[in-house]
Structures are given as structure tokens and as C-alpha cells.
Structure 1
Amino acid sequence: MRLYEKTGNKWKFIKTYPAVTGKSGLSFTKKEGDGATPTGMYEIGRMFGYGKKPAGVRTSYTATNQFHYWVDDPKSADYNKWIYYRGNPASRWKSFERLNHELYKHAIVIRYNENPIVKNAGSAIFLHRWRTSTTPTAGCLALSESHLIALMKWLDPVQSPKIVIGTPDSIRSDLKNSSP
């Protein structure tokens, strides 16, 4: 993962962090459950985790518990949404992510497939801590916990941060076509 800041029309390199992607690599045609990380440019969403909000984080942060879910059941009206639910999740959805999962001690929502939400196009895409530096994710991006926290502190919501995921050519294209 490479971090850049844009001032005017110029991109300035900041730093690099080792990262892992989905077990199926990158996808230009993401589908629910394919194990791939979606390519494209996306807004950075809110931050969350079962851990305490790290000092210095400027973005909204939600401390999660056993009632926080992200629904990845394409047949549900709740598909690709964060839901707070006190009932039995298995009786409401066929598939869901518990947001107090061990990998989500701290995490950042990547605002993928949101406007509009397209059924079966993929859901629950986050930046979260990795298991190891060589263990892929189910479709998210993952960093070491220390780099994830450093990134969380670096991101400034006033600057409307974005994430660009892709091959070198697709990234250049996304950046070239992005608005200032």
C-alpha cells in the first residue's frame, strides 16, 4: 500500500506499508464470495473496532460489540449494510460478518458497492489487521496492526480521503480521471 497526498493537481508520495489482498487477488468484476479484492477508487468510510479508538484518530469511530454486523446475504434487504441487531443473526440472514471479529480490533470501511448497492457485487470490504504478512483476506485489504493504526491517524476526514485499488495501469487511470 502506497500513501499519497494530492495538492492541486500534484500527487506527493508519503510512504509504503506492506499489505495483503483477497485470496483470489484483485478483481475488476467483484462478485459476492469470490475471495477477491475489488479494484477501483472508493471513499474511506467510518472506522470501527472492538478496541478503544486510538489516540489521534480524527475520523468517526464506533466501538463494536456482539450486536454489530455487516450483512453479506445478497437476498436480504440489509445486504452490504452495517446493522445493529440484538436477535439471533442466523435466523435473520444467511450470511453476515460479526464486527467484533478478532481481525477487526481496528478497521476502516472501504465504501465499496454503496450507491447504489448492487446485489451479489460484493460486500463488507474493509481495511483491517492481518493474520500474517502472507495470509490473504476473504476480499478485504489488511495491514499489520501498527501500520493500520498509523494509517488511521494519518487519514484526515476533512480531506475526503480515497483509496485506489488495482494494477499499476488501472490506478494511473483512476488517478488521472479523479477530481481534485
Structure 2
Amino acid sequence: MRASSLFRWLGFTCITLPTAVLAVEAPNAWSGAQQMIVVTTDDWNAEHGTLRTYVRDAGAWKETGSAADVTIGKNGSAWGIGLNPTQNDGPQKHEGDNRSPAGVFRIGEAFGYARSHATAMPYVGLTASDYCMDVDGSPYYNRLVDADKVGRKAVEGSTEPMRRDLHLNGDGLYRMGFVIEHNPDGRRGGGSCIFAHLWRSPTSTTAGCTAMTDTTMERLLAWLDPKKKPVFVLLPKNEYARLRDAWRLPSP
């Protein structure tokens, strides 16, 4: 086993590398990735970004598909906890800051309101009893749990019922989406429940997720392949330019 702890999502297990190892080995931590989703923003406080997709061909990244608009946290972005080495220059992600985590992250399971979806990614059909725990200090912090299994008391205080359509007057934001594996070890206060999901409108920002149109999400879910070890990158443009060569990121 490569990690000291596991991030569990409804029975699926994603093994994560210890932080100390990541700091030494990155970008080897994502050197095996053959698919990359890249979101760039104008600066740390920008609420909107541009999403591009890349495939690795003969060792070189090549853009595929069309660029798409996305919205992110209403306060912009901040360094998250993912695959890349810790960055101390710039804002740091913490619970409740309404910033999207910046860095390089594994892409986890897809999810949605339907029982199944046309995607190669492991898929979770959400139910009314599924919650993501955003309560700092909870033993289930940054995990999706089934209240019918862990008990209703265990999910008290969560603001993340996953079937938003059933709990929040028909809300469709989580009708399709996937996990962005920020803070996979559930470090207290480090931020939780970070997803790519649908947007309400082009001007509607998020509490820290990345939101997009139905069309863009459908394309991503059809394109993503777990065998290609996909990763998700979110960076302000100046940070992307600074780190592109060292982190072996695609040329814009």
C-alpha cells in the first residue's frame, strides 16, 4: 500500500500518496497521466475560468476538443491539497473560504441522479440518504456517507445533501458530476466536498467547486477513462506559466 490512509466514496477506494512523498516526487506523481483537464483563471480572485482537455501522445500533451467556460469559487481560488508539492506563495485553501482548490488533483468517481451513466469512470448513482460531510471535526470529514448506514446523527450539520433535487427544491447542480480529489486524507479544516458539477447559469459561482454546462459535463464524462489516469489542474494564468515546465503541463 502506498498510503497511510484511504479516501472512501460509497465503497470505492482511491489510494493516495503521503504528502512527504509527493513533495519529493512531483511531477512524477502524475507522470503516468494520459488525460488532463486544465482550468486557468485570470488571477487568484477570478470567479470564472477556461477549461481545456488534453491527451498525451508520444510523450507530448495535445489539446483535444473545444475550450469551455466554467465558474469556480465566488472568492476565486487558493492552493489546495493534491498531487503537487506544497506551495506557500499565495492563498491557502481552507474550509468555508469559498475558493476552489488550485493545483493538480486526481479525478475520482463520477456521480449523478441517474442510476447509471454513459461513462467509463466508476459511477455512483446518488440516493436521498447520501451526504458529503463538510463538518470540520466529523470522523467522516470530506467523505460521502449514506445516512441510512452511519445514522442520521452522523450527518447532522452537513450542508451537502448529494440529491439536491430531493432536499433543495429540485436543484439540479449534482445531476451529473465527478469528484476532484482535493484533501483526500481529510485534513481538518483543509476544505471538503470539491466536485466538478453543473452550473446554474454562466454568472453563478460556487462554494469551491468547478461548474459548467450540461454539454461540457456530458463531453467530459464520455471522454474520461480511468485507465488513462486522468488528472484535474486548476491554476491562475501566472502560476500556470511559472510552473508549466517544472510540472510538465501542456503548453497553452
TM-score normalized by the length of structure 1: 0.90
Q: Does 1:133 align with 2:183?
A: no
* AA of the residue aligned to 1:176: A
Q: Cα deviations across residues 62-95 of structure 1 (Å, max 9, x unaligned)?
A: 1101111110111111000111112435x64323
Q: Does 1:88 align with 2:139?
A: no
* AA of the residue aligned to 1:17: A
| Alignment CA distance shift 1:64-1:174 (3 Å) | farther
Task: Compute the RMSD of aligned alpha carbons.
Answer: 1.8
Larger mean Cα displacement after TM superposition, 7-16 or 33-42 = 7-16
Q: CA deviation at 1:174?
A: 5.7
Structure 1 stretches of 4+ with a deviation exceeding 6 A read none
Q: CA deviation at 1:175?
A: 6.5
1:111 to 162, 181, 184: 181
Contact 2:104–2:234 (CA<8 Å) still a contact in 1?
A: yes
CA distance in 1, matches of 2:145, 2:155: 11
Secondary structure of 1:47's counterpart equals strand
Tell me the matched-pair count: 176
Aligned to 2:78: 27
Contact 1:54–1:149 (CA<8 Å) still a contact in 2?
A: no
Larger mean Cα displacement after TM superposition, 80-89 or 58-67 = 80-89
Tell which has more relative contact order, 1 or 2 (C-alpha 8 A, sep 6+): 1
1:149 to 218, 223, 245: 218
TM-score normalized by the length of structure 2: 0.65
Gapped runs of 5+ residues in structure 1? none
Q: Cα deviations across residues 138-164 of structure 1 (Å, max 9, x unaligned)?
A: 110011012101111011111000000
Aligned to 1:66: 128
* AA of the residue aligned to 1:45: G
CA distance in 2, matches of 1:7, 1:96: 41
Contact 1:164–1:171 (CA<8 Å) still a contact in 2?
A: no
| Alignment CA distance shift 1:150-1:96 (3 Å) | same
Q: Identity rate of aligned residues, in percent?
A: 30
CA distance in 2, matches of 1:79, 1:44: 19
Q: CA deviation at 1:54?
A: 3.0
